[in-house]
Structure 1
Amino acid sequence: MERIVVWARRHRWTVDLPLYAVFLFLGPNWNDAGSWGLRAASMLFLLPLLVRRRFPRTVAVLIIAGAAAVYFNEIWAYDRGRTELAMAVALFTLVKAGDRWFAALIGAAVVTLDVQWAALWGSDADDPTFLIIGVLPLHVAAWVLGEFFRKQEQLTVEEEKHADAQSRAAVAEERARIARELHDVLAHSMTVIVLNAEGAKLARHRDPEAVDRTLDTIGRTGRDALAELRRLLEVLHAGQSARSPQPSLGELRELVDQSGREVTLEVTGDPGDLPTSAALQAYRIIQEALTNMIKHAPADATGRVTVAFGPPEIRIEVTNTGGDAPAPAPALPSSGRGLPGMRQRVEMYHGELKTGPLPDGGYRVFASLVVQP
Structure 2
Amino acid sequence: MDDELPRLNSAILHGDAPPGLLADQVREELLRYLPEVDGLDAEQAKQLVVRLGFVGASMARHHQEWNAGGKADPERAFDGLVVAERPFREYFAALADRTGEGHCPRDSFASLVRWNVGTVEVRRGNELMAVLPGAFDDGRIRSYTGTPGEESFFLLVKQGEAVELAVNELLGPLGEAPLLGDDAIDRVRAATGLIEAMRRLFIDFAARPPEQSMPAEHFLDVFRQFAVHWTRDDIPPSGALDPEALKRDFLLGIDLAGYDHHVRRLFPALLDGERQEIEKLMGRPTLPERLLDELDLDEADLRTAPIAELHGLIGHHPGLVDWYRLLAAHARAAGAHLMLSKKFLFKPQRQRDDAGQGDRPLVSNRAGTTGMNEMFLERLTQARRDHTLAPLRAALPRETGEKPPGTEVRSGRSVSVALVG
Larger Rg: 1
- Which of the two has greater strand per residue? 1
Q: Which TM-score band applies after superposition, normalised by the shorter structure?
A: under 0.3
**TM-score normalised to structure 2 length:** 0.22
**TM-score normalised to structure 1 length:** 0.24
- Which of the two has greater helix per residue? 1
Q: Kindly indicate whether structure 1 or structure 2 has the higher relative contact order, using CA contacts under 8 Å at least 6 residues apart.
A: 2
